[in-house]
Chains A and B, each alone.
Chain A
Amino acid sequence: MRALDAVRRANRPGPPEHSLRLRAACLGTVLVAVAACASVHEVSPATALAAAALITVGMAFSYVTRTRPPGWVKVLIAVGASAAFVWFFHSVSSPSVDITGVENPLTLLLVSVLVVHSFHVPARRDLLFSLGASAGLMAVGGAQAIDLRFGLFVVAWSCFGLWALTEMWTSASGGGRISAAGLVAALTALTAAAAAVFLVLPAPVVASRVALVSRAGAGGAVGVPGALAGDSGTPAQLSRAGSTSSPSRVGGYLGFAGSLDTALRGTLGNTLVMQVRAQRPSYWVGETFDTWQGQSWTQSRRTTTALRFGSPFVLPVPVGADPVGQADLQTFYIAGATADLVFHAESADELWFPTQTVFAGQDGTVVSPIGLGSGSIYTVESQVNAPTAAELRDDTSGQTLPGTAQAEYGQLPHPYPRVLALARSVTARDTTTYDKVQSLIGWIGSHTRYSLAIPPLPPGADTVTQFLFGDRVGFCEQISTSLAVMLRSLGIPAREAVGYVPGGYNPITDLWQIRADDAHAWVQVWFPGYGWQSFDPTAVVPAANPSPGATALKDVAAALRRVPWVPVVAVLAVAGLVAVLVRRRRSRPPTWAAQVAREAERAGRRAGRPRRPSETFAEYAAGLDALAGNGSTTWERLASSVEASAYGGHEPPPPAQRAMVAEARHTRVHRRAASGVGS
């Protein structure tokens, strides 16, 4: 019975809410939440518009009937909500629907509930429910948002929500208001609390098997399925080897093609290429190269296997890879036209892709059959094997790569006696592969410099020889190639990998943002017990001739580019508007008489006739009328009313007060226009 009583108490209708402001604020939160869901395609624009219209009508109906809500409305709400729930459970109960398929029905369910609920919102408690439901709707939209534009909706929703909550206090306290200082203190505390939690909480993680999203975006057909294409933004155009005359590749990068020319490097730019939601940062591999030709890398294993089973694609184990590791889910959100390579963390083993076919190479390269343009989404699960340094040192099993792979990944176009001598001298004291790699990386870091501003190598020049024994200045492809060649000269299998560095982490969206200039090349070294392990020698190479001023300017420019200007400007604009309104409100005279007096004094000042300290207002007004010289006694008449109010207690009715203020303003403006005297 106690539970029954509690239910009855909970369902007891509250007192009707008469505050129109509170209803408007709650309506604002709900409409913003619906718009936010529409912006991330959780609901269609037509559905969003219909829902917004119905909710507005429902809120108006609730306000009109707040004192005596019709009984049939409750029946309608019960039927509508039940129908929405039945439809929702029917939609998600299909065996083919995974967890990601619940999002759209859940959004529609929430919108439907908000629509039917809006017709019965008589009390404050019901409005609070609308507020909470709008928060849920915002969360559903936020789950799909991958850029900072969603921040506009968050800011708008927060403003409406705060307005609603402060109006709720006004209503609950019988007209209480929060002072400006109190509101600022509350907002400051709220922001501090939210920021503290934001700073303390760990980053969200992708729960296993939850976010397996894939969607085709703007792309187009690839001219030759399975071939590398799209490097110039056109999927139909096949990738070409880089050349000094045509550096038009993905973001200017020459690597995402059948070969990698290390003699030159194009201008990469800073455009956003993709965003990645991942459990951990990784080097996102696009493809690898095994054959070194002195100035460029090529692939000897160019054949790919077509996988035609649809998602999830089970990818074959690449040659030399260790198939056992820690599962690592990554979802890639493509932001701009890119190559048709499926980027992934090392050793991808499963892929959710919006096509029925993908092409897998023996080295782990995965090629898309469609162009990957803006809006494309795919998810990869990789097996990440990250042994410790000690484990790699102990990996001395002596095994070799299977078949011809050992020779392929140790291939050199010609003997490099100087390179071999250098590598031996650097690694003379090292006994393990790992120590040798680290010694070589250390030597490169202490003897070479990084620079993008170097001229293309002349045709026929050997990149490694030029880099190691020439000016020792180069970029990532040259640095990593030099390491790979030194390792190969020592008999250690190594290959060149190209892709992207993890990029910048956006703490708001929890996404790694990869820009064109994040394109990178590094070295993968094979360890018998752990497969291919990545090493990035470029990371330890200092920049050549660093210019503090140029570096600082570049950092500042980069920081400014990453500022979310739209939300920042919006917040500043709103804050400025509020400040102006508050200032105007504070500077407004408190009474009508003071307003009239102020108008008269302004008119006098502009006419060069400021009020003297010893002058009464009536005297001053008479002086102003005399100054006008047209026989008008407007100021005198107004002054008479003001003094009668101030000293005689004859307070005119409010309409007359407003009329006198308006007349004073009118007189000030029009006399000035007519005669130049406030006049």
Chain B
Amino acid sequence: MNLRARPARPVAPIAVAVGVVGLWWLVAHNGGAGWVQLLGDVVFGTLLIGVVGPWAVVARARVTVRSAPADACAGLPVDLQVDASTRLRVRPVEPPGPEVFVGPARRRGPAPDRITVVPSRHGLHGAVTVDIASAAPFALQWWTRRVRLALPSELHVAPRRGRPERPRTEAAEESGEVHERPRMDAGLPRGARPYAPGDNRRLVHWRATAHAGHLMVRELERPSAGPVTLMVDLPADPDEAERVAERALGTVVDLLATGAPVMLGTLERSGRVLAPVADRRGAGRRLARAVPAGGSPDAGGAGGG
């Protein structure tokens, strides 16, 4: 991926430099004035270094990602801390992101050497692709090079949380053997514990509260529920696959909120995986690894996985 440095558009400064130097030498050579020719040599040297010098800077520049989160969500910005050997203009390409400057700055104080990427789709990224550019030392012409920055740990980009779907029942359930899920506040008392925000007020154990001097709630032992298995098959079309993944995540999160154990079945590069997910992050990671049945998804292509 480390491509050669190339002049960034517009390349007009190069043409202007060639024209200026050519015209200058023409005039100087035929004018017979040594100082003019010498000045032309200085101008040539300056334009040469100003136009071609950034090539050397960009070619030698080193950028590494110092730290990056392991989890992200499609559509939300992700900050990556980077180290740059020189001042560079960085534009994330895959995942895309806004253009920023990184590297040593003249101003004292901590430099915000971070780049922000905004993944548009779910996927697993082991690296990010960026365009680095520089016009050092004279800011006359920008040169750019596309590099791939390895991430210290894989970045799991979960899909957005889509609208949940009622999971389709198995054939046995469709024939009338549907198990009703117990209410959250149902079950046998197991003990009491201090109240925590979010606890159902119906669970307040007034005797224990009076005894303890602060609100106590009952802890109920619920009957174990059978796990809900959610099989996710992503279609080949990237947009459609993204929508499917979003709906799957929404459904999983909803199911987890009801307290039901969820088994998530996805197709990963290593093969089909059916495993329980305990929380939203786990579900997001699983869906980040998911690939379409017929081929690799567009989003995960950059990261491998």
Cβ contact within 8 Å between A197 and B41: yes
Q: Chain B contact residues: over half helix, strand or loop, or mixed? A: helix
B206 on interface, CB distance cutoff 8 Å: no
How far, in whole Å, are A189 and B137 apart by their CA atoms in the complex? 12
Q: Does A508 contact B (CB under 8 A)?
A: yes
A169:B104 contact, CB within 8 angstroms:
no
Contact string, B252-264, partner A, CB cutoff 8 A, digits 1/0? Answer: 0000000000000
- How many residues of A are in contact with the other chain, CB < 8 A? 57
Are the C-beta atoms of A204 and B37 separated by less than 8 Å?
A: yes
Against B, the Cβ 8 Å flags (1 = close, 0 = not) of A573-594 are 0000000000000000000000
Residues A169 and B137 in contact in the complex (CB < 8 Å), given A161-B46, A194-B42, A204-B29: yes
Q: Decide: B32 and A206 in contact? CB cutoff 8 A.
A: yes
A176 to B101, CA, bound (A): 9
Q: Which A residues are in CB contact (< 8 Å) with B50? A: 165
Q: A390 on the interface (CB 8 Å rule)?
A: no
Tally of A-B Cβ pairs under 8 angstroms: 155
Q: Does A135 contact B (CB under 8 A)?
A: yes
Contacts of B101 in A (CB 8 A): 173-176
A167-202 interface with B by 8 A CB criterion: 168-179, 182-183, 186, 189-195, 197-198, 201-202
Asked if A432 is an interface residue, CB under 8 A from chain B, the answer is: no
User: B45, B53, B107, B140: which has the most chain A beta carbons within 10 Å?
Assistant: B45
A145 pairs with B136, CB closer than 8 A: no
Within 8 A of B (CB), among A189-223: 189-195, 197-198, 201-207, 210-211
Q: Is B24 an interface residue (CB 8 A)?
A: yes
Within 8 A of A (CB), among B35-60: 35-46, 48-50, 53
B6 near A: Cβ within 8 Å?
A: no
A208 vs B112: C-alpha distance in the bound complex, in angstroms? 62
Q: Decide yes or no whether B33 CB sits under 8 A from chain A.
A: yes
Q: Are A183 and B32 in contact (CB under 8 A)?
A: no
Query: What residue in chain B is nearest A141 (Cβ atoms)?
Result: B35
Contact digits for B4-47, partner A, Cβ 8 Å, 1 yes 0 no: 00000000000000001000110111111111111111111110
B125 to chain A, nearest CB (A): 27
CB of A143 within 8 A of CB of B31, answer yes
A487 to chain B, nearest CB (A): 37
A206 to B138, CA, bound (A): 34
Which of B32, B89, B134 neighbours the largest number of chain A CB atoms within 10 Å of its CB? Answer: B32
- Tell me whether A165 and B31 are in contact (CB under 8 A): no
Indicate if the CB atoms of A165 and B139 lie closer than 8 Å. Answer: yes
Residues on B with C-beta less than 8 A from A190 are: 42, 45-46, 48-49
Alpha-carbon distance between A489 and B163 when the two chains are bound, in angstroms: 121
Q: Is B106 an interface residue (CB 8 A)?
A: yes
Contact partner of B34 (CB less than 8 A), chosen from A176, A177, A186, A508, is A508
**Interface positions of B (Cβ within 8 A of A):** 20, 24-25, 27-46, 48-50, 53, 86-87, 89, 101, 103-107, 134-140
7 tightest CB-CB pairs across the interface, nearest first? A510-B34, A176-B87, A142-B35, A194-B45, A177-B106, A206-B32, A165-B138
* Interface of A toward B, CB cutoff 8 Å: 124, 132, 135, 138-139, 141-145, 150, 154, 158, 161-162, 165-166, 168-179, 182-183, 186, 189-195, 197-198, 201-207, 210-211, 277, 506-511
24 contacts across the A-B interface (CB closer than 8 A): A124-B139, A135-B39, A139-B28, A142-B39, A143-B36, A154-B38, A166-B137, A166-B138, A169-B135, A175-B107, A176-B87, A176-B103, A177-B104, A182-B137, A186-B49, A190-B45, A190-B49, A191-B45, A192-B45, A205-B29, A277-B33, A508-B35, A509-B34, A511-B34
Identify 8 new A-B residue pairs, CB closer than 8 A, beyond the known A176-B104, A183-B137, A197-B44.
A139-B36, A139-B40, A173-B87, A176-B103, A186-B53, A201-B25, A277-B33, A510-B34
